[in-house]
Amino acid sequence: MGILILAGAGVQLMTRLIPYGVRGREPSGYITGIPAVFLSLLMGLLGVAMLVVPDFMLILFGWSDE
């Protein structure tokens, strides 16, 4: 999961576009510029945390049975 999050963050960082809107429809708009870079870096940190401490992150997000 951490690798997929890092890959997604990398794509968003390269394109500097983060779409938003209703799922299943065309995006209502895009977050661009510095806010997109900041959110992409934040997502990248989440991916690194998933790789470094996966047990804690799974519990934190409620994806674990513990």
pLDDT tens digit at each of 66 positions of the chain: 889 999 999 999 999 999 999 999 999 999 999 999 999 999 999 999 999 998 888 888 887 776
Structure letter (DSSP) for residue 64 = S
d(CA 31, CA 8): 15
* Site of tokens 């960082």: 13
pLDDT given at position 52: 94
Pairing of strands 29-32, 17-20: antiparallel
| pTM confidence score | 0.79
Q: How far apart are CA 55 and CA 28, in angstroms?
A: 35
Q: How many CB atoms lie within 10 A of CB 9?
A: 20
Give the residues across from 19 on adjacent strands.
30
Domain boundaries, the chain: 2-21+28-60
